[in-house]
Structure 1
């Protein structure tokens, strides 16, 4: 726009233009036409001067914009004595800029809400007391109290028995999430339940929420090529405007018709519609947990035809999970899980933590293990409620109980079996695997419906594991055993047939994310390097958020184009009408303002986009009763 980035200057120029128009109309009403013309001129000159300064700055940068048409219309109106028309154009143009700022502020509302919610202090446990400290003084390992209704200031683990968190500001999930002891809480969530203690994992400056805030700030400062759509067509539109106005003057000998054409051609629809629609799309996508780093990725996202997916942590959960339980000697599944999880509390192995998490999700109350002895990477032995328990690999448990343990579970590629013995008797087996995320079949189908016609898996894992995990998904290709540079080569190869989107979460995915037309990072648990290299960050650990993100991008771009071409079409019709003498300059100015309002309101429809692909979120599960811990057969 033609004003420097000063809200005060924009407001002042609008006020001057309105005051000039109002005073002129008052003078005109009391038959003081000379004074009226002077008042109208006084309201126009400051606006025109600011506009000319901005045009010169743009030309110095090598840019030719449609502000030239607005300057021509005001200058011609003043030159030929149509001071009232010039005053109306000045008011409408400065008012249009003011309206654009209002529209963009509304469009940015949800993203700005992230910034406004940044906490400044935290309540820390210290020597049996609580103290309020500045957020920058919170360190990893600190124990802090999260009050009811407070925003979690840093990533950490729940130290209390449970916590209820509202993630709606980050992910758009409407229902609060119940987290148990030891589970991770994402910074930026709001405590929707009772106060709880949190063990800090990372300093606040390195937390998920701080990273999100930095990404939001970068997104707000960006400008997309499509936002320069007006400039790309500026010379053509300028040529058409000059041609119609010149022809009207030449053929009729009436310069006022040329002035009327220029007034109607004032190009607010082109200048206002695109940024408003795209910024609204960015805001709407953020509401659904999809942070797009600017309007350029938003526009590119709408054209993607090929998708490359990483496996671990992206297509799969990235953490081992229990996929089946096999019991022996009269042990129930809940009892087996109870003993295994109680003992595994003493281990930091990923599979041990997965077993503990599964037990707590079922509501099992786990006692503290005694006389624990761990053999790193093999297993753990100890006492649970007076009973001797061993859990770990089949070979480790076999040696612990002195008998050969043999699981009936089929050892497929990518799976592992954890054996359990209680009182020197085999109690059963837990089959662990990094399983596909739930709803993956529906995700693939949804991507196909949205125009993604080629989907490829790219992983550094073994081919047998990759093929086993993706069996039945209907992917177009599976590429396994890839190094980071080979992933980049795959992206470059696929780009030969169309725009490519790459989705990943690890440090090894960062180069491929940067090489793709659109890189998407799993931001909830992914590496900072991948989030930094990506164009889009999914704020929640849910790959299904890609669907509303793509749909919002497509519909926002379509709304922007509709606004632009509808505005241009209505302006050209008005220009022709003015050329034939059906519109005076004043009427042309009023008509153009109606067009401006129409295209901006149409662009703001992007704020109300409701993706058809969103999934409802379920309520937290209720706890189950503790299983019997009596003797097993």
Structure 2
């Protein structure tokens, strides 16, 4: 394929290809081909002018150019846009293409009519289109609803009745542009939200030749058997063929109660396995699940709207009767239709109803561009209003990739055996501590691929129990091992750990109620944690609290280092939730930040919950805000974005009320002609809506 370089800066190329125009599937195919190249982070292809924008690591420039040059214009790759993991990027690029084409067609269509059609045909077209608005408004009126659409219909109808065809045409043109812009912003927000609602892991455990084998999601096919352990999120629709468990189906039904599933039951992608273990047969591959088809309904649900958005819509509709009363009152007093029409041509409702949802959805789209998925407008409002932030410790305030610092062996078992057994048991559970143990076993070349244990039972935030060679083995916290399970604690254990790994978190392994090992895991603070907390305080957060299931010594060390307002150690999951509920009962608006299975009850209880990129699947499924990168700085960024969003909405209200009031007063006093007022009203409404699509954050802040 031949191409011309339109723009060339380090890490970013824009090219114009010599193929003429492309169709959507060819644009998808080229985007996918480029995104598969190592070092390419973003690729979008514009259908109308065959331009390609690629963002990449600077060292990959020639590789990108070679890949484009090797494309065969007679056999361009074609895709439908549903291939993971790039579907979201490609769909967003396609939506941008559709928006540009709709605007161009809308503008060209108006001026083509003006320049090419004879006067009678132009008038006929204007009357015909005006009738569609009138019929639409009449439909709302017959249902007993006085809405903005009724006012639009009356304004257009009155202009047509008075022979002001060009006034009616101008109003319809501006309304059309506003609708195109609103649809575009809503589509972008929906695509981003869809990605956030559908939580899918990158890998799954497939049953192959009787063995559990980890496979990537791209390898999952209909009919395949998958093993789902406690704490995982189902990546596909499936049928249970073995086992039983309780699932949280809130992502589908909105209900928090657990649903029991057994053999023969149907389970759905996006639901979280809270208890038990299931073997399932895949009935719908990734991308074809039920939750994919209902994401639109969830996104449009009123329960996800910001309260300020709902208030704006209710306020807009409540103002319509006042506009109508004002119309008839001015008509009765002045006997002047021209002056009375001012309140039909200039109303508060249209601008208010359009501007606020566009502002909210645009902010959600901006967050998505910054790798943060916000699952509803109301969570942006809560982020702006929150006065308390509650952090989990492990994997949140501390690094998400902790390292095994020391392995202590007791009794007859040596260190290698302790680590090998621990890794074999822990590898099925998505927690940072478990991943640290598995990584260390691999680093030491300790084989644990063949299952050493029977079926495992996971106790949330406590530990795991299983059987190895007929012996019962448990692994978990001190509370679980020594208190719940009654394992005898060596007299010198605390002193030995304090001497060899004083700041570590410890996971204990026991066999037949005898302690056989202690794995000490270094859990260093995130480099950015102190600064993030300081900046959150500067943005109005009054209390920063830590809840952790870790030991008091480890918790106290972190709290002291970060100068937290309060902390609670050795907290059980249900107690974390109780702490959140207590804060809310005292009037606090709470942000909860967590990453583990044990955080999910607290995440669900908070006013707004945040999960980082390497959080467990269930934490990301429950969280209201999913951060796709692994940095606490995203919290600061989202706090700033949400606060600026609320300020923007407040400014919109003041401007709309003030400016439109001046137009109405000027029109009634005869200072502003109705036609001019209509142009100014619709023009400023479109301008306010367009300005609400601007980014809230500067590049330097992201």
**Range into which the TM-score falls when normalised by the shorter chain:** 0.5 to 0.7
Q: 2:135 aligns with which of 45, 49, 65?
A: 49
Cα deviation digits, residues 67-95 of structure 1 (max 9, x gap): 33323323433455544433432333234
**1:454 and 2:533 correspond:** no
- Tell me how far apart the structure 1 counterparts of residues 115 and 286 of structure 2 sit (CA, whole Å): 58
The alignment status of 1:535 with 2:624, answered yes or no, reads: yes
Match of 1:308 in 2: 390
Secondary structure, in 3 states, of the residue corresponding to 1:497?
coil
Q: How far apart are 1:247 and its partner, in Å?
A: 5.6
Q: Deviations over 1:234-274 (max 9, x none)?
A: 36643664465456444543111111331122743222222
Partner of 1:596: 685
Task: Tell whether the 8 Å contact from 1:342 to 1:368 is kept in structure 2 after alignment.
Answer: no
Cα distance change of structure 1 residues 210 and 414 upon mapping to structure 2, 3 Å threshold: farther
Indicate the residue corresponding to 1:279 in structure 2. Answer: 361
1:502 equivalent in alignment to 2:592: yes
> In structure 2, how many angstroms separate the alpha carbons of the residues matched to 1:546 and 1:206?
34
Cα distance between partner residues in 1 of 2:573 and 2:422: 32
Structure 1 segment 67-146 matched on structure 2, within 5 A: 67-105=149-187, 135-136=221-222
CA deviation string 1:41-87 (max 9, x = no partner): 3331112112332455583xxxx543333233234334555444334
CA contact (8 A) 2:391 2:546 kept: yes
Distance 2:221 2:610 in 1: 30
Number of residue pairs the alignment of both structures matches: 488
Instruction: Determine which of 517, 521, 527 is the counterpart of 2:607.
Output: 517
* Contact kept? 2:506, 2:520, Cα under 8 Å: yes
Aligned pairs for 1:40-439 (under 5 A) are 40-54=126-140, 56=142, 59=145, 65-105=147-187, 135-136=221-222, 220-223=299-302, 224=305, 225-234=307-316, 237-238=319-320, 241-242=323-324, 245-246=327-328, 248-265=330-347, 267-317=349-399, 320-322=402-404, 348=423, 354=436, 357=439, 409=499, 411-412=501-502, 414-415=504-505, 432-439=521-528
Give 1:26 shift.
6.0
Residue aligning to 1:610: 698
- C-alpha distance in structure 2 between counterparts of 1:494 and 1:501, whole Å: 11
Tell whether the 8 Å contact from 1:484 to 1:512 is kept in structure 2 after alignment.
Answer: yes
The alpha-carbon distance between structure 1 residues 214 and 434, as it changes in their structure 2 partners (threshold 3 A), is farther
- The 3-state SS of whatever aligns with 1:472 is helix
Render the CA deviation track for 1:159-187: whole Å, top value 9, x for unaligned.
xxxxxxxxxxxxxxxxxxxxxxxxxxxxx
CA offsets 1:487-535 (integer angstroms, 9 cap, x no match): 333222212233112222333333322222112234533241x333332
Alignment partner for residue 549 of structure 1, among 621, 630, 638? Answer: 638
Please say if residues 592 and 603 of structure 2, whose CA atoms lie closer than 8 Å, have aligned partners that are also in contact: yes
SS in 1 for 2:395: helix
Shift of 1:605: 0.6
* Paired residues of 2:193 and 2:375 also in contact (CA < 8 A): no
Question: Which of these residues, 655, 671, 685, is aligned with residue 566 of structure 1?
Answer: 655
The question of whether the paired residues in 1 share the 8 Å contact of 2:192 and 2:365 is answered with: yes
CA distance in 2, matches of 1:70, 1:266: 12
Asked if the contact 2:393–2:547 (Cα under 8 Å) also holds between the matched residues in 1, the reply is yes
Note if contact 1:459-1:466 (Cα within 8 Å) is conserved in structure 2.
Answer: yes
Residues 295-315 of structure 1 show CA distances to partners (whole Å, capped at 9, x for unaligned) of 121222211111122233333
Give the structure, 1 or 2, with the largest relative contact order (CA under 8 Å, sep 6 or more): 1
Cα distance, 1:536 vs structure 2: 1.7
- Closer, same or farther in 2 for the Cα pair 1:590/1:119, shift >3 Å? farther
Q: Distance in 2 between matches of 1:49 and 1:343?
A: 76
Distance 1:112 1:279 in 2: 13
Matches of 1:101 and 1:301, distance apart in 2? 25
**1:408 Cα offset (Å):** 9.2
Deviation at 1:595, TM superposition (A): 0.9
After superposition, the Cα gap between the structure-2 partners of 1:542 and 1:594, relative to the gap in structure 1 and judged at 3 Å, is same
**Among candidates 511, 516, 533, match of residue 444 of structure 1:** 533
SS at match of 1:482: coil
Cα deviations across residues 144-164 of structure 1 (Å, max 9, x unaligned)? xxxxxxxxx99xxxxxxxxxx
Q: For residues 699 and 332 of structure 2, what CA distance do their matches in structure 1 show? A: 52
RMSD: 5.4
Aligned residue number for residue 580 of structure 1? 669
Aligned-partner Cα distance in 1 for 2:193–2:591: 24
Separation of aligned partners in 2, 1:595 and 1:613: 29
Do 2:196 and 2:374's aligned partners in 1 also have CA atoms closer than 8 Å? no
TM-score, normalization by structure 1: 0.61
Correspondence for 1:488 among 557, 561, 577: 577
User: What corresponds to 1:402 in structure 2?
Assistant: none
* Aligned-partner SS, 2:527: coil
By how many angstroms is 1:21 displaced?
A: 11
Query: CA 1:344–1:590 in structure 2 vs 1: closer, same or farther (change >3 Å)?
Result: same
Q: Distance in 2 between matches of 1:211 and 1:462?
A: 42
Paired with 2:581 and 2:498, the residues of 1 have a C-alpha distance of: 45
Q: Distance in 1 between the 2:194 and 2:637 partners?
A: 20
Closer/same/farther in 2, CA of residues 353 and 293 from structure 1, 3 Å limit: closer
Query: 1:365: Cα distance to partner?
Result: 9.7
C-alpha displacement of 1:231: 2.6
1:291 alignment partner, SS class? strand
Q: For residues 424-443 of structure 1, give each alpha carbon's deviation from its aligned partner in whole angstroms, at most 9, with x where no partner exists.
A: xxxxx996333333322122
Q: Distance in 1 between matches of 2:284 and 2:155?
A: 51
Contact 1:244-1:579 at 8 Å conserved across structures: no
CA positional deviation for 1:216: 7.0
